Amino acid sequence: MSSISAVLILKNEEQNLADCLQTLDWVDEIVVLDSGSTDNTLEIAKSFGAKVFVREDWEGFGEQRRRAQELASCDWIFMIDADERVTPELKQSIQKLIQGEPAIAAIARLSWCFGDYIRYSGWYPKRVSRVYPRQLAHYNDSLVHEKLLNPNNLPVTNILGDLLHYTYDNVHQYLVKSAYYASLWADARQQRGKKASLGAALGHGIWRFIRMYILKLGFLDGRQGLLLALLSGHYTFVKYADLWVRQQAPNPARKDSPTKTT
């Protein structure tokens, strides 16, 4: 019989973690890698019998997932976030999958956002690859928007059941998280020597709105779809604008800036 490890990377998730772990009572082990929580996250994880580890030297989402995977011991990995929940149908699909040949499971994620489930807008049934053989696949080292690598060309299988994702409760939460992600995105692009212009930032932002609200049928998600498309366009503009700002002259008032000459 094959075994499976549920793996989570966490920081300050006391509001979400217990509800997530309650849907994982069928896995063989739960592995938690924390990056420096100051709330009750670790205590909650331990109360569910999780194997808890701490690494505060954060090097990005991709690297943290790689580290967490190395701490697991089972045949299969189920990478899950604290704000996600496993439905009964998904549980059955995963249990069936791991008794077969090696493969990567592509799971439909259904997100709750601003008071309702988002079933269009390009969000559903956008599948995420989260279940895979531990020794045959791993994540890349991206700072943000990390991806699962498949060096052994395993088949990718769409399985039944939704992974429920309880994402943004309010606009403030969205803006804080999106600003953080935009900064990480700009960091990664800057490290690769990429540049941007304000015109490009505006164009990308407008196109993101059009694609999400019209082409991806976001208008069928009602007022939530409109708000989400507007905020997504704003996020896209901000990340390109952040990269553009980094190309400008440094603040001469900062002590670590070169002295301005006349």
* CATH domain 4-166 topology: Spore Coat Polysaccharide Biosynthesis Protein SpsA; Chain A (3.90.550)
Considering the chain, what is the average pLDDT of its residues? 95
Rg value, the chain, Cα: 20
Residue 206 CA to residue 232 CA, distance in Å, equals 10
User: Structural domain boundaries of the chain?
Assistant: 4-166, 171-246
Residue 58: C-alpha distances to residues 51, 102, 198 (Å): 19, 31, 30
Buried b (16+ CB within 10 A) or exposed e, 8-32: bbbbbbbebbeebbebbeebbbbbb
Q: Answer whether 91's CB lies under 8 Å from 85's CB.
A: no
pLDDT in tens, 13-50: 999 999 999 999 999 999 999 999 999 999 999 999 99
pTM of the predicted model as reported, rounded to 2 decimal places: 0.89
Ranges of the chain whose pLDDT falls below 50 = 259-262
Is beta strand 138-139 parallel, antiparallel or unpaired with respect to 148-149? antiparallel
